[in-house]
Amino acid sequence: MASPQEIDNLQKSFQRAATLSGSPGAVSTSPTQSFMNTLPRRISVSKQTKALKPFSTGDIKILLLENVNQTAIEIFNEQGYQVEVLKGSLPEDELIEKIKDIHAIGIRSKTKLTEKVLRHAKNLVVIGCFCIGTNQVDLDYAAKIGTAVFNSPFSNSRSVAELIMAEIVSLARQLGDRSIELHTGTWNKVSAKCWEVRGKTLGIIGYGHIGSQLSVLAEAFGMHVLYYDIVTIMALGTAKQVSTLDELLNKSDFVTCHVPETAETKNLLSAPQFAAMKDGSYVLNASRGTVIDIPALIQAIKANKIAGAALDVYPNEPGKNGAGSFNDDLNSWTSELVSLPNIILTPHIGGSTEEAQSAIGIEVAAALSKYINEGNSVGSVNFPEVSLRSLDLDQENTVRVLYIHHNVPGVLKTVNNILSNHNIEKQFSDSNGDIAYLMADISSVNQSDIKEIYDQLNETEYKISIRLLY
């Protein structure tokens, strides 16, 4: 949030706004474009657009944790931001100390941005989750303090789908057990209970970006595909949607989970669901660790109800790599699980490919840069999605107002009374629950006008945060 002192700093830089398109602070062009930005615009293709920036991009501090991909680092460096990169996650006390001064943070799945941590984030504008999931962030509290959260819902879908397909074949052929045996010198050439996947039925729970891609791969292997989802989704290929989870479980030889972590999906597969499955079927999970009741799965495998399982995620996961970290102290059933036959265990690597991480770095870094530099919140998971078209280079003396506020009656009337003293070129507002977000471009203003706008908006009762971009 800009202070009155920062407003004063505009006086020397405001007149240079028209020449910023070639500066290091200009938003980089990314292959990842939002739907809104691909819509036709009523502007001449010959016009160049002006890059909006914070007051000084060099003052923007970004912390990247958990070995975020180099593509993201390069994008942020091109903006001229101060970028600090750490390979691992941080303990809570160190994270609290770090988050006090930064404006943006990039994390993956291990860093926990809880309310306790976020209460210390006085300058935090935006959070980037360089992964699909966002359950590691308190989304509601982040919104309450005016911090938008972005993730990467698409970029690692193929990598996860390919891993699951490989595990389906591996479980059907008991490849994990044969590999372990041969590594220890045991030659065990068997065909009993080893199967082709051709002609078998794959049941997919959750037919989103990953589930639908997996559907196509499975059909290429000659499998029949059923899927269950809480919404009606058009099938790809010859896949068929079933109306109940039980129907999918009854008919599938392989069952794989691709759902988010919610109250409804906790222990989605437990003892009753395993009992409903075919004898000798297989279970796979690369979504969230709470989706499968693992103690119940262990009992189903011991009873020969389930012939094998592949797990990539767990209720509790180690905070860093290292020998001995996956143990009974982390999850009480670990020793029992690892002792079972035909169990493939991987350390949350579904999206861990060079291609996926590179694409995620580009997608999330571009989204964060557009939010910092332009106020564009399209794609945010906890925030109203608001966007305004870019300014033309010839639009001088224009300021973009970004006003985040509580969603209560009368706020827009108050704000528009303040802005009505000036020429409002364009304006857009939207709300998401208790949070609302207003963007407006105000033209024909000078430095004293900008300071007056800021001061008046800052005194409004339901303001959460304000940023002014030029």
At 376-399, the pLDDT tens digits run: 999 999 999 999 987 765 667 899
Q: What pLDDT is attached to residue 32?
A: 33
- In the numeric block, the tokens 């800021």 are attached to 454
Phi/psi class of residue 261: alpha, beta or left (left: φ > 0; alpha: ψ in -120 to 50)? Answer: beta
Task: List the catalytic residue out of 108, 224, 348, 400.
Answer: 348
Instruction: State mean pLDDT over 192-220.
Output: 97
Q: Do domains 4-154+355-469 and 157-345 have the same CATH topology?
A: yes
Mean of pLDDT values over 196-202: 98
The CATH classification number of 4-154+355-469 equals 3.40.50.720
Query: Taking a C-beta distance cutoff of 8 angstroms, is the pair 369, 363 a contact?
Result: no
List 224, 288, 400, 422, catalytic entry: 288
Give the pLDDT confidence score for residue 59 in this predicted structure: 84
> pLDDT tens digit string along 294-310?
999 999 999 999 999 99
CA distances from 212 to 16, 261, 340 (A): 49, 19, 31
For domain 157-345, the CATH architecture is 3-Layer(aba) Sandwich (3.40)
183 an active-site residue?
no
Six token digits for residue 391: 């300014």
Torsion 404-410-413-418 (CA) sign: negative
Q: Which amino acid is at 250?
A: N
| Model pLDDT, residue 29 | 32
pLDDT averaged over the chain?
A: 89
Active site annotation includes 348: yes
For the chain, the structural domain boundaries read: 4-154+355-469, 157-345
The reported pTM is: 0.78
Q: Which of 219, 317, 336, 385 is catalytic?
A: 317
* pLDDT computed for residue 53 by the predictor: 59
Q: Rounded to the nearest 5°, which phi and psi values hold at 86?
A: -125, 140
Indicate the pLDDT class of residue 39, thresholds 50, 70 and 90: very low
Per-residue pLDDT tens over the stretch 66-110: 999 999 999 999 999 999 999 999 999 999 999 999 999 999 989
Q: What is the pLDDT of residue 56?
A: 58
Residue keyed to tokens 């009523």 = 42
The string of pLDDT tens digits covering residues 8-20 is: 444 433 333 333 3
